[in-house]
Amino acid sequence: MRKLAIVTLVLGLCGGAFYAVSAAEKAAEPAKEAAPKAPVECFESRKGASEITQRDIKPGWPNVKCSPKTGAALWYGDPYDGTVPMGKMPGLENIPEGHAVIKPRSEKLALMPMCGVSCHNGVGPAFNPPTLPKDKKPKPNPTMEAMVPDLANLQHGRGRIWCMDCHHTTKRNMLVDHFGDPVSFDQPQLLCGKCHGDKLRDWRDGIHGKRIGSFASTGKKRWFTCTECHNPHNVQDGARNRGFAQLQPEPSPQLPRGMKDASHEKLHPIPH
Ligand code: HEC
Ligand code: HEC
Ligand code: HEC
């Protein structure tokens, strides 16, 4: 409850500031002419195979149709919504700038933004650095366990790895690589890859994990990062959820303007 209250407060404050700025910007902006309509690009479109056929389902209801065979609208929204460039990744230098994008993890983590600010801030006797672990012997940590229940019985590495193998010692809002350098929570592949090199290579090659977006090999793609699927704190918890992060469902796709529901989709245009 308290955690929620803090988050709401922080968000509230930031939201207020943002609103003020955007309102000021809006006022200063000169009225723009309506931009010419960009041609609709189909998600996962491929010349000759899954091209978009733009038509109106009803007047004013433009479809976004990817399959000329079934007529099904496969995707209304934009697969790149909410994504940012992946950042530097050894082995992926040949991907054109901005063509490898990811959804940042940090915005999904409620505690993380506060770790290095509210508690592990290097100030006060109860806080880091005086309480830095002196050895790597796992000890119970009731405060952390209360906040993140999976930490009560860390199921990763069979008792051979511990918090500081993954989290940066002094910068608690960062992960850590083998050199002790900070790694962003948005680039977990750089953390996981330091121990799971084989999986990192498979992921880079598109054998492990998932990517969506343009079919062309040089096309823009959203890459799913390791922590979008794996919960790092319980990868080996067989009984409960088999070590996978519990996915938050994506919001339902946005319907074209004016359309109230997508029940027309249930009528299969091809009898079978
Ligand atoms: C195998 C690497 C690894 C180990 C070991 C590990 N963590 Fe984490 N931890 C992560 C990663 C990666 C994330 C971000 C997860 C995500 O993006 O969903 C994270 C997230 C967190 C968070 C933020 C959760 C939130 O919802 O904001 C806390 C707190 C945390 N870890 C504490 C700990 C503590 C305490 C330990 C030791 C008992 C520990 N972790 C052990 C990798 C690890
Ligand atoms: C410090 C080294 C280290 C880091 C960093 C690390 N792991 Fe692990 N991981 C291990 C070890 C050790 C095991 C246990 C292997 C065993 O004993 O079966 C393991 C096990 C796993 C397993 C279960 C494997 C299996 O065979 O069932 C998964 C999945 C996994 N890790 C994913 C990740 C992900 C995702 C990350 C990044 C968030 C990560 N690991 C970071 C060392 C690491
Ligand atoms: C789209 C989801 C997804 C992403 C992204 C993903 N994984 Fe996995 N991973 C899986 C699934 C599903 C399995 C289980 C496969 C199986 O049981 O055969 C798995 C298995 C593993 C295993 C255990 C393999 C074994 O031999 O049992 C490791 C280690 C692992 N992943 C590490 C990673 C790392 C490191 C990354 C990021 C570079 C990553 N994964 C990204 C879904 C994902």
Tokens of 83: 């994504």
Name the closest-CA residue to atom 21, ligand 3.
199
Max mean pLDDT among 103-117, 195-209, 247-261 falls in 195-209
- Residues 148-176: b if buried by 16+ CB within 10 A, e if exposed: eebbeebbbeeeeebbebbbbbeebbbbb
What is the reported pTM? 0.77
* Between 84 and 217, residue with greater pLDDT: 84
Residue range 91-127, pLDDT digits in tens: 999 999 899 999 999 988 988 888 877 777 767 554 5
**pLDDT band for position 203 (cuts 50, 70, 90):** very high
Cα atoms in the Cβ-side hemisphere of radius 13 Å centred on 26: 6
pLDDT of residue 54: 59
pLDDT of residue 74: 53
Annotated domain spans of the chain: 39-77+254-272, 79-252
Residue 208 pLDDT greater than 80, yes or no: yes
Which residues pair with residue 101 across a beta bridge?
A: 85, 222
* Between 269 and 32, residue with greater pLDDT: 269
Residue 171's alpha-carbon distances to 122, 132, 177, in angstroms, are: 10, 12, 12
CA–CA dist 102, 85 (Å, integer): 6
CA–CA dist 13, 36 (Å, integer): 37
* Between 231 and 135, residue with greater pLDDT: 231
**pLDDT band for position 59 (cuts 50, 70, 90):** confident
- Residues 122-134: b if buried by 16+ CB within 10 A, e if exposed: eeeeeebeeeeee
Indicate the top mutation candidate among 4, 137, 163 to test ligand 1's pocket, ranked by most ligand atoms within 8 A of CB. Answer: 163
Bond prior to 232 in cis (omega within 30° of 0): no
Report angle CA 69, 75, 78 to the nearest 5 degrees.
140
How many angstroms does the Cα of residue 159 sit away from the middle of ligand 1? 15
Ligand 1 shell residues, CB under 6 Å: 105, 109-112, 141, 144, 148, 151, 154, 156, 161-163, 165-167, 175, 185, 188, 191, 227, 232-233
Q: Is residue 55 within 8 Å of residue 87, measured between CB atoms?
A: no
Among candidate residues 162, 182, 186, the one with its CA nearest the CA of residue 172: 182
